[in-house]
Chain A
């Protein structure tokens, strides 16, 4: 063990090192292993966080879901008498879905147009700058969208909604009595559409840019105009990407709080009359409105509605991601 010409401190770890390496069968030494475990732990923390979000919400929502209707009616303000918890959440879920779907219908065609504009139509040099401009829409805080919606959009939209209500009132969505202040679901849907434009545009743009160059050139060589090239080569290639982009936008619209809270005049009905005031309310806005003053069972009830929102958005997002993941495997680019 001890050699004559070197100090005893140096050779002492020497025999230990090869033995450790042989026993574990890999070449990781010293801090490398610890570092790997730290990063893996961070990865596991993501899963733990998501699980914790779900668990804590379920735990705090449980008392409200199991409480009797009379208990709930005592504790929760504006709780309708003699209704089960499902009947209480129902209109909120309906309002949330209606606002988000309307926003999606408005935003998707425009977002596809913008994505095509940036990927195939805009002058090459400008394209990146114009892309930044669209991304700026995503940078604006939602509370500022709310202020803008009330101060600018609602007054501008009121005559349009009134006109649609007058002349196309036979259509179920446009029926009812148009609100003169336009603090209605239609205005909310327009604001939400503006807010989800950038995310749908960003994802669609990436997909359109991945269209194989050869497909596009083949279409042009066959005499296609630019639009025909887009229709026959770019759009079929990007279809599933656009679908998943739209679902991501839907997820964003479902959870949007402040713009809805500030613009919408709330109501608790299953109603399709998007121009009439006091008809709808969304889950997120409902929570934000009542949570600061809530206590006791009301807090549990609000967290239970939040859990419903969490489940809905989780399902939408997971579906969207699954579409994206499947697309990767069968992409024509490989």
Chain B
């Protein structure tokens, strides 16, 4: 080998090897860089297109009347009426789901972080992960099968939807709260024990208080995730055109279900020269409601992140 490299021929070959291989490698590198930037741009296309479409189609329908009236007694192409009943239903049902999910989720997170050892903790961790993947419609079917046993086959009321949403929300709350509780430094707990504070008081007064900003963020993001769920509410809560504030009695309308119902109504038939008739009013309603729903979801997301940024404790 060593004799070969001394010949001018071999030197030339080595040089050729080095210089010709290099452009190919550099080209591959550049192509992959372009592809990877391209993947990101590609993902932004649907996001921008979707937000723009919703804003463009929905903004025209938003008015005070749209936000403060229900659809009671509104038929065909009548352009009056609004989404008040759906907004109220969404807030009530999601509120009940939060009331159920947050205590359970927080306690499970405390169990996993502060006490969890042994096979029970391992299986809880595993099944919380598995629960994250339950299809939303299956959660709705579960709520229906549970409540129809007690209240008869026709039972549909807000709390059923809240239970279905809780099945979807609890694992999300557990996951995010667990992450937040793990961030609390052990020194704080040990300092508290050293002062003779019992463990439960340490958890409530030291661990939870230190992580309250992160916990709030986690809960808000979990609410944002379930507030747009449609399928479980469609099967468990039903639909109505009237305002219903009582989660324990009667069907309720929610924003996502309202969007779906208005969309599936299609075009209204208008007679020639009929004044108060807009053929595609149902579709306009759907877009207006979609804009409202997206605004609520985005608000929850932004507030959640801001809470974490503003109120997070400065540990160092």
Chain A positions within 8 Å of B, measured between CB atoms, are 28-32, 34-36, 38-47, 49-50, 52-53, 56-57, 59-60, 109-114, 116-118, 121-122, 130, 132-134, 136-148, 150-153, 194, 197, 201, 225-228, 230, 248, 251-252, 254-258, 261-262, 284, 287-288, 291-292, 295, 299, 302-303, 306, 309-310, 313-314, 316-318, 320-321, 325
A57 touches B138 (CB 8 A): yes
* Overall SS of chain B's interface: helix
The listed residue (A35, A53, A291) touching B234 by CB distance below 8 A is: A291
Q: Given contacts A32-B198, A36-B199, A46-B127, could you give 9 more A-B pairs where the C-beta distance is less than 8 Å? A: A31-B201, A112-B39, A113-B39, A141-B294, A142-B229, A143-B228, A255-B137, A257-B231, A262-B263
Q: List 11 A-B contacts (CB under 8 A).
A: A113-B35, A117-B40, A141-B256, A144-B294, A147-B54, A152-B49, A227-B29, A258-B231, A287-B231, A288-B234, A295-B153
Asked if A121 meets B33 with Cβ closer than 8 Å, knowing A113-B38, A142-B230, A313-B134, the reply is yes
Q: Among the listed stretches B5-13, B105-113, B183-191, B206-214, which one makes contact with chain A, having 4 or more residues with CB under 8 Å of it? A: B105-113
The listed residue (B112, B133, B144, B264) touching A317 by CB distance below 8 A is: B133
A42 touches B43 (CB 8 A): no
B57 touches A151 (CB 8 A): yes
A39 touches B108 (CB 8 A): yes
Instruction: List, in ascending order, chain A residues with CB within 8 A of B128's CB.
Output: 46
Give complex CA distance A42, B101 in Å: 11
A35 touches B199 (CB 8 A): yes
A45 touches B104 (CB 8 A): yes
- Residue of B at shortest CB range from A53? B142
Interface: B182 (CB within 8 A): no
Task: Count B interface residues, CB 8 Å.
Answer: 90
Q: Which among A29, A35, A47 has the highest number of chain B CB atoms within 10 Å?
A: A35
Instruction: List, in ascending order, chain B residues with CB within 8 A of A318's CB.
Output: 130
A321 touches B126 (CB 8 A): yes
Interface string of B224-248 (1 = CB under 8 A from A): 1101111100110011000000000
Interface string of B256-275 (1 = CB under 8 A from A): 10011001100000000000
Asked if A36 meets B115 with Cβ closer than 8 Å, knowing A137-B46, A258-B260, A292-B234, the reply is yes
Instruction: List, in ascending order, chain A residues with CB within 8 A of B107's CB.
Output: 38-39, 41-43
The listed residue (A34, A111, A118, A313) touching B133 by CB distance below 8 A is: A313
Closest 3 CB pairs of A and B: A255-B135, A141-B228, A113-B39
Interface string of B27-61 (1 = CB under 8 A from A): 01100110111111011101101100110010000
Instruction: List, in ascending order, chain A residues with CB within 8 A of B46's CB.
Output: 137, 148, 153, 194
- Residue of B at shortest CB range from A310? B138
B108 touches A43 (CB 8 A): yes
Interface: B67 (CB within 8 A): no
A230 CB to closest chain B CB (Å) equals 8
